Amino acid sequence: MVKSVKGKPIITLQDITFSYEIEPGWNETVLQGMNMEIEQGSFVAILGHNGSGKSTLAKLMNGLLLPHDGVVTVNGNDTSEQERLYEIRRTVGMVFQNPDNQIVGTSVEEDVAFGLENLGVEPTEMRNRIDEALRAVHMEAYAKQEPHRLSGGQKQRIAIAGVIAMRPSVIVLDEATAMLDPQGRREVCSLIKRLNRDEGITVVTITHFPEEALDADRVIVMQRGSVYLDGPPREIFSRTEELQSIGLDVPHAVRLRHHLVRDGVELPPILHQEELVEELCKLLLKT
């Protein structure tokens, strides 16, 4: 896998404007003058409610959509250059929301092979990469299985295996957990966390579950087509009222702490449930 130099921007978006034509002559602007840099090796969570432009943002990152204004570059390649598009798509892998609608192969290993076949990888090399990718997502026992017999979480793991077999530097997950049950969501979340930490793959996860942003290095909150907040999760989630004012929720522990502080309990900013429990215990011992 690609061992990366941390800190160097791998995806940059400059002054991006994007709008959909709803009817002739009537455009709905989704992104407006947006700037963003995704650093290599980072784990970025993008939060935002429906219609905030976060899904459009994801599709701009590997040239599935092109901006109307501004420039998107991946590893220095401009996504509007047609001949660089395959290089870009190999660098930035994407996992979509509906697990059923992104599996092409009639068996698990054939689906993982799909991207490799498109790249023109030799069959023997392909075999190795498939086995490696399936091991990475702990699905090696299912190689011959038909995809419709798998659970939602397993299907998403296969989709991720299909992406990592292509050895990308970045994986963009466009609400990849939205259609999964809690079990499937946990599986996918722990997998992407591991891929980021152990393989050095840059992860951009787009979600509307605030809990999934807790493990990220950086949280970007989108609101009406532009960046509303940008920073480490601890900082972002401490601004509970601001988040709630734009219709976003915060993790349960953060919300509870917020209510307690408002009612006069003295608590430092926290992120995880365990921290809250610890702080509350300390408080209990003090009194």
Summarize as ranges the residues that interact with other proteins (CB under 8 A). 59, 62, 64, 86, 89-90, 93-94, 96, 98, 100-107, 109-110, 113-123, 126-127, 130, 146-148, 162-163, 166
Q: At its nearest, how many Å lie between other proteins and the CB of residue 73?
A: 18
Q: What is the DSSP string of 121-182?
A: --HHHHHHHHHHHHHHTT-GGGTTS-GGGS-HHHHHHHHHHHHHTT--SEEEEESTTTTS-H
CA neighbours closer than 13 Å in the CB half-sphere of residue 230 = 10
Q: How far is the CB of 93 from other proteins (least distance, A)?
A: 8
Query: How far apart (Å, rounded) are the C-alpha atoms in residues 13 and 11?
Result: 7
- Residue number with CB closer to other proteins (91 or 223): 91
184's tokens: 């499937």
Q: From CA 23, how far away is CA 224, in angstroms rounded? A: 20
For the purposes of burial, counting CB atoms within 10 Å of the CB of 148, is it exposed (0-12), middle (13-18) or buried (19 or more)?
Answer: exposed
In one-letter notation, the amino acid at residue 141 is A
Q: Which is nearer to other proteins, 104 or 265 (CB)?
A: 104
Which one, 116 or 248, has the nearer CB to other proteins? 116
Minimum CB separation of residue 43 from other proteins in Å reads 20
Least separation, in Å, of the C-beta of 20 and other proteins?
15
Q: By the 8 A CB rule, do 199 and 168 touch?
A: no
Residue placing its CB nearer to other proteins in the complex, 54 or 257: 54
Beta strand pairing call for 77-78 and 92-95: unpaired
Looking at the Cβ atoms of 50 and 101, the one nearer to other proteins is: 101
Q: How far is the CB of 233 from other proteins (least distance, A)?
A: 28
